[in-house]
Amino acid sequence: MRVLITGAAGFLGSHLCDRLLKEGHSVVGMDNFITGSPDNLAHLAGHPNFLFIRHDVANFIFVPGKVDAVMHFASPASPNPNSPYGYTNLPIQTMKAGALGTHNSLGVARAQKAKFLLASTSEIYGDPLEHPQKETYWGHVDPIGVRSMYDEAKRFAEALTMTYHRTHGINSHIVRIFNTYGTRMRLDDGRVVPNFIQQALRGEPLTVYGDGAQTRSFCFVDDLVEGIYRLLLSDEHMPVNIGNPAEISILQFAEAINRLTGNPSGIVKKPDLRLGDDPQRRRPDITRAKQILNWEPSISLDEGISRTIPYFRVKLGLA
Ligand code: NAD
Ligand code: UDP
């Protein structure tokens, strides 16, 4: 296949480029670098099956030549308002990437009779009242809340994808991604994994927002990419959760990072600076992924974090 990946210079997009190239496909990567970095694709410069196009997907997308699949991953993804790369500080860009970017990406898929895969998110479940979250859950989202530029853009993107599927017969897929971590995460995007690992490597206390009782379920990037690749090759059109169901409180997560890095500085509790809307519990029900894709994660938190630490060491100039 020749696959267009939007958001190719980001954390997940760049790993997807690598996986697809490894499988023998050709990749057209597209990005405007608003939160991503050319560093994430530097190793692909000159690759015979890789083409990069710098472009904002909110504008009409033109790709020369045949495209067999479109994977729409372009969107800011961090909720942290303390980071300039957080979506609350890029609010209009976030809504445009989710709404106009999805429309333009679907337009490419329709014109090219290509498959389409949307990167959706566990955030479409909001601060969930059902636990763990199944794909049948409609969510608990404030449409005008402080995270709504992201949550509602993704909900619109899902609705538009299903509308193109039902109206134009687009061969579409929707992956609902739960918290994923690994190499190539931006040091300063404010998400919990880069924040904690870099604080730990600098020997600083880890900043736990609120009481740390809020939970997340962290998936290592290689597991996620495997699930997404299987979904791309499948005939499934309804949304599929991909994530690791191993749930952990943010406090326990901070303790794990300190243990794995040997950081003696402990933790410091900070007021939740994130203006509310921080989901209290999050854990995917992955029954559908198991049934439909025969997929489940295989990399433990200890192993995944240990594989991620050396990357941050290099980025911080400590190795
Ligand atoms: P990221 O910020 O590292 O990557 C996003 C990429 O999209 C960046 O390279 C950015 O420059 C690019 N981009 C943003 N707007 C663009 C535009 N208008 N035109 C072209 N490029 C644009 O974030 P990520 O973690 O890799 O997330 C990738 C996708 O996966 C996003 O759609 C995000 O919503 C989704 N997702 C990620 C997670 C996670 O845990 N990492 C969880 C749920 C959903
Ligand atoms: N968090 C934290 N300290 C930090 C960064 C984040 O305690 O330095 C918490 C945050 O409040 C949230 C969880 O970690 O409860 C995950 O946050 P992240 O920004 O990674 O993404 P989210 O899962 O909220 O989309």
Atom of ligand 1 minimally distant from the CA of 184: 3
> From ligand 2's centre to the CA of 192, what distance in Å?
5
Task: Output the DSSP codes for 193-204.
Answer: HHHHHHHHHTTP
Give a yes or no: residue 161 inside a domain. yes
CA distance 244 to 256: 16
Give a yes or no: residue 316 inside a domain. no
pTM of the model: 0.97
Give a yes or no: residue 142 inside a domain. yes
Residues with C-beta less than 6 Å from any ligand 2 atom: 78-80, 179, 191-192, 195, 207-209, 214, 216, 250, 274, 278
Give a yes or no: residue 34 inside a domain. yes
Query: What's the pLDDT score for residue 271?
Result: 82
Nearest CA to ligand 1 atom 17: 56
**Does the active-site annotation cover 150?**
yes
Phi then psi dihedrals of residue 31, to 5 deg = -165, 155
> Which residue in the list 85, 87, 125, 150 is annotated as catalytic?
150
Query: What's the pLDDT score for residue 273?
Result: 63
Query: What's the pLDDT score for residue 259?
Result: 97
For CA atoms 42, 202, 76, 302, the dihedral sign is positive
Query: What's the pLDDT score for residue 276?
Result: 66
Instruction: Enumerate the β-bridge partners of residue 71.
Output: 5, 117
Ligand 2 pocket mutation, candidates 94, 216, 281, criterion most atoms within 8 A of CB? 216
Quote the number of domains for the chain. 1
Domain with 34 in it:
2-181+219-244+283-298
Ligand 2 pocket mutation, candidates 218, 250, 257, criterion most atoms within 8 A of CB? 250
**Mean pLDDT, range 15-28, rounded to an integer:** 98
**Mean pLDDT, range 212-224, rounded to an integer:** 96
> For position 122, which CATH number holds?
3.40.50.720
Q: Which of 246, 272, 116 has its CA nearest to residue 178?
A: 246
Give a yes or no: residue 136 inside a domain. yes
- Strand ranges (E), 105-171: 115-121
Nearest CA to ligand 2 atom 18: 191
Give a yes or no: residue 250 inside a domain. no
Give a yes or no: residue 262 inside a domain. no
Nearest CA to ligand 1 atom 35: 119
Query: What's the pLDDT score for residue 272?
Result: 75
Q: Are 28 and 67 in contact (CB under 8 A)?
A: yes
Q: Are 199 and 206 in contact (CB under 8 A)?
A: yes
Query: Where residue 278 falls among pLDDT bands split at 50, 70, 90?
Result: confident
Give a yes or no: residue 120 inside a domain. yes
